[in-house]
């Protein structure tokens, strides 16, 4: 009887071990960094671009990438469609004309806006903190940012 009990226990243990999922490596949640609302202008015409960098240590691509603008969800796209290396970060953007942004968030005309970013790689949602900051898109404007008291240099201007 002891022998049968021992064999039965061994079989139950073996079945339990074989049927239990093996988690060799835990999947970490991705990160969202550098979330910002960039703006450019020419004359009185403004354009905007929401931008965030998605990074995943396992290299998993996101199931979705959203920006919430005053509570309204919009889908973002990769800045470089060919970039699939999530380990070193993939930049996602949502470009909008001033008119499009003002339809979504009418108070944006008065620089009143709240936005945040959300994604999921299958391990659960990741959301950034809410922000209301705007930043000038120096690169799109052809400007160079200088980290000194002298301010900004215009690369399109004479002498600079």
Res. 24: pLDDT tops 70: no
> Distance between CA atoms of 39 and 115, rounded to whole angstroms?
14
Residue 18: predicted pLDDT: 57
Residue 131: predicted pLDDT: 95
**What domains lie within the chain, and their CATH numbers?**
31-154 (2.60.40)
pLDDT grade, residue 119 (50/70/90)? very high
Buried b (16+ CB within 10 A) or exposed e, 29-42: bbebeebbbbbbee
The whole-model pTM stands at: 0.74
Residue 151: predicted pLDDT: 47
74-108 pLDDT tens trace: 999 999 999 999 999 999 999 999 999 999 988 87
CA-based angle 59:65:69, to the nearest 5? 150
């Amino acid at each position: 009887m002891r022998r049968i009990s021992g064999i039965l226990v061994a079989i139950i243990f073996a079945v339990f071990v074989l049927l239990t999922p093996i988690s060799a490596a835990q999947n970490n949640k991705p990160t969202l960094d550098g979330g910002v609302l960039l703006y450019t202008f020419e004359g009185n015409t403004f354009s905007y671009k929401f931008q965030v960098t998605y990074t995943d240590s396992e290299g998993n691509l996101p199931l979705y990438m959203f920006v919430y603008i005053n509570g309204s969800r919009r889908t973002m796209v990769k800045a470089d469609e060919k970039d699939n290396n999530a380990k070193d970060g993939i930049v996602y953007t949502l470009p909008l004309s001033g008119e499009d942004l003002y339809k979504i968030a009418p108070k944006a005309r008065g620089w009143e806006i709240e936005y945040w970013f959300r994604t999921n790689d299958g391990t659960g949602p990741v959301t950034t903190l809410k922000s209301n900051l705007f930043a000038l898109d120096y690169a799109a404007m052809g400007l160079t940012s200088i980290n000194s008291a002298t301010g900004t240099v215009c690369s399109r201007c004479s002498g600079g």
